[in-house]
Amino acid sequence: MAVLERQDCKKLWEDYEYDFDNPSDIIDIGHSHEKSDEWFDDIQKKQGISNVRLGIFLNDGTVIGDIALQDIDRTNRVCSVGMGISRIQFRCRGYGQQAVKLMLSYGFDYLGMERITASTLEINAAGKKSLEKCGFVLEGTEREAVYLNGRRQNRLNYAVLRSEYI
């Protein structure tokens, strides 16, 4: 993991592939390159304040995704983690799980968080499995919370506490 530069955000923007066979999020297409610049600017505005967002890179330096601790609440010592891998070929290969584990360590060990949350759609089998392998515990279901591909989908809410983190 490393800092995301403007060109990395553009690359992620250009490379993003929607997985119609295994949807994990709402289709969000049709954005211009300027929108990736806006995303980069938003990252910089929030970086270190309410978010910590980094890129996920292969050993050769190719950016393949991003990961963030978001909505950092230093008073209550809670935040959420979110992660995305741009190309289907790099999904389900352990990159995201490794990044989540590193961010959990950073959140608990350096930021002093006591609770880190995450959510995924119930139909995202790989996402559920990955979160559970990282120590997250299912806390609840938001029934029919998301409209995706013409159907209502449940959102699953997970959390891991510092005391449970290994």
Percent with pLDDT over 70 in the chain: 95
Q: Specify if 1 maps to a domain.
A: no
Residue 26: predicted pLDDT: 66
Number of domains in the chain: 1
Q: Which CATH number covers residue 57?
A: 3.40.630.30
The pTM of the full predicted model, rounded to 2 decimals, is: 0.91
Residue 160: predicted pLDDT: 98
Mean confidence (pLDDT) of the chain: 92
Q: Specify if 22 maps to a domain.
A: yes
Query: pLDDT-derived band of residue 27, with 50, 70 and 90 as boundaries?
Result: low
Q: Specify if 105 maps to a domain.
A: yes
Q: Which domain holds residue 55?
A: 6-164
- Mean of the pLDDT values across residues 44-55? 96
- Which residues contact residue 22 at a Cβ distance below 8 angstroms, ignoring those fewer than 6 apart? 123, 124, 125, 126
